[in-house]
């Protein structure tokens, strides 16, 4: 076991394995880890299902390199692809597969990104205002703060951070950048703190929602997720399963909406007989969203906000066959 195996604790690993298990127990089952990170979930799954094949996706080259070392012991069962997870179909087909048997999304910022101070994701440490999950992309938080209009800043703080003081913060940022560029997270935290009433500060760190909003904007997380969940479901073979771990309400809403839509009949109201093409594509494996229990939260504090959802494909899409190549 390498040192990388101790880097972080995967959230709800045993529960994810339990939910994915029935789909991955057969020989040659293809599993996609759409948010590979440092490979913690994938390592556990590959150990538990010794005939499963992994296609691991991540937009972060550093994470891919670490995961590659961690998963090296599984040999040619591992296929790693540098891509954002809305490129799941291209990645899977590029590795030679038509369908998949299981897929996991562990959303949000990864342990690696949070723990690397220089990446600028944390409001508790002073660092360059970067926030890119993919260091090869161009847009940074510094660019957003320097170039976006006051109206656009207000919009992203409101829509992506659900921040009630979005207008106030946007105005202060535009005012401040006229005299000094905002290039470090400490500057932004100081500005936001000074603009926040003391009573509001007592409710939690005033910069939390603004940093979340900037991270989502820089990485286009919600737009990517809206494309990725349907694409992943479309790739699932009958009997295949999707498991999603979300950590904030905006992500969870997108996941919930798509799973509910696919697990509901599309037959027009009043139709006497439900035609096969109107039957639900999915059946939900969890009613609502499942939360981490107290033991999990104590062992792994990053599990505290998680919302877990899962579903199984019960009928093929009418435009695809259920054959695959290996």
Tokens of 204: 């939690």
The reply, when asked if residue 123 is annotated as ligand binding, is: no
Q: Mark whether 253 and 177 lie in a shared domain.
A: no
The reply, when asked if residue 41 is annotated as ligand binding, is: yes
Q: Mark whether 206 and 231 lie in a shared domain.
A: no
- Rounded to whole angstroms, the Cα distance separating 94 from 90 reads 6
Q: Mark whether 105 and 125 lie in a shared domain.
A: no
pLDDT digits (tens, 9 = 90+) for 22-61: 999 999 999 999 999 999 999 999 999 999 999 999 999 9
End-to-end CA distance of the chain: 29
The reply, when asked if residue 40 is annotated as ligand binding, is: yes
280 occurs within a structural domain: yes
pLDDT digits (tens, 9 = 90+) for 209-261: 999 999 999 999 999 999 999 999 999 999 999 999 999 999 999 999 999 99
| Mean per-residue pLDDT over the chain, rounded | 91
Q: Mark whether 71 and 20 lie in a shared domain.
A: yes
- Mean pLDDT, rounded, for 98-104: 97
Q: Considering its fold, how many domains does the chain have in total?
A: 2
**pLDDT band, residue 320 (cuts 50/70/90):** very low
322 occurs within a structural domain: no
Q: Mark whether 16 and 101 lie in a shared domain.
A: yes
**Sequential DSSP letters for 21-55:** HHHHSSTT-EEEETT-TTSHHHHHHHHH-TT-EEE
The reply, when asked if residue 190 is annotated as ligand binding, is: no
**CATH number of the domain bearing residue 157:** 1.10.150.170
Q: Mark whether 131 and 212 lie in a shared domain.
A: yes
**pLDDT band, residue 168 (cuts 50/70/90):** very high
Q: Mark whether 39 and 59 lie in a shared domain.
A: yes
pLDDT at 268: 67
Tokens of 192: 């936001």
**Domain interval for residue 144:** 118-219
234 occurs within a structural domain: yes
The reply, when asked if residue 39 is annotated as ligand binding, is: yes
Q: Mark whether 107 and 14 lie in a shared domain.
A: yes
Q: What DSSP designation does 319 have?
A: T
Q: What pairing do the DSSP bridges indicate for beta strands 236-246 and 53-58?
A: unpaired
pLDDT digits (tens, 9 = 90+) for 56-79: 999 999 999 999 999 999 999 999
Q: Mark whether 273 and 256 lie in a shared domain.
A: yes
Judged against a pLDDT cut of 80, whether residue 132 lies above it is answered with: yes
Q: Indicate the pTM of the whole model.
A: 0.90
Q: Mark whether 83 and 229 lie in a shared domain.
A: yes
pLDDT at 172: 98
35 occurs within a structural domain: yes
The reply, when asked if residue 106 is annotated as ligand binding, is: yes
318 occurs within a structural domain: no
């Amino acid at each position: 076991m390498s040192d990388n195996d101790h880097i972080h604790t995967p959230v709800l690993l045993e529960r994810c394995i339990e939910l994915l298990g029935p789909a991955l127990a057969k020989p040659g089952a293809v599993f996609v880890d759409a948010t590979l990170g440092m490979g913690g979930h994938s390592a556990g799954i590959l150990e538990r299902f010794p005939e499963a094949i992994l296609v691991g996706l991540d937009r972060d080259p550093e994470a891919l390199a670490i995961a590659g070392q961690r998963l090296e012991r599984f040999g040619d069962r591992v296929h790693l692809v540098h891509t954002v997870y809305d490129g799941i179909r291209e990645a899977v087909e590029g590795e030679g597969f038509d369908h998949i048997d299981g897929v996991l999304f562990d959303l949000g910022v990864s342990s690696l990104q949070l723990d690397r101070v220089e990446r600028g994701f944390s409001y508790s440490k002073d660092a360059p205002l970067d926030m890119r999950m993919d260091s090869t992309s161009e847009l940074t938080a510094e660019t957003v703060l320097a170039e976006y209009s006051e109206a656009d800043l207000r919009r992203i703080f409101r829509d992506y951070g659900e921040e009630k003081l979005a207008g106030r913060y946007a105005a202060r940022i535009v005012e401040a950048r006229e005299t000094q560029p905002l290039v470090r997270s400490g500057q932004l935290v100081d500005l936001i703190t000074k603009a926040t009433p003391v009573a509001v500060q007592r409710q939690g760190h005033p910069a939390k929602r603004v940093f979340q909003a900037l991270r989502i904007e820089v990485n286009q997380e919600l737009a990517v997720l809206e494309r990725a969940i349907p694409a992943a479901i479309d790739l699932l073979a009958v009997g295949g399963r999707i498991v999603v771990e979300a950590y904030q309400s905006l992500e969870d809403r997108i996941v919930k909406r798509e799973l509910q839509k696919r697990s509901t009949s599309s037959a027009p109201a009043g139709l006497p007989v439900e035609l096969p093409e109107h039957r639900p594509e999915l059946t939900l494996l969890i009613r609502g969203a499942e939360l981490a229990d107290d033991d999990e939260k104590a062992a792994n504090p990053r599990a505290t906000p998680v919302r877990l959802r899962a579903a199984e494909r019960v009928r093929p899409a009418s435009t695809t066959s259920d054959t695959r190549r290996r």
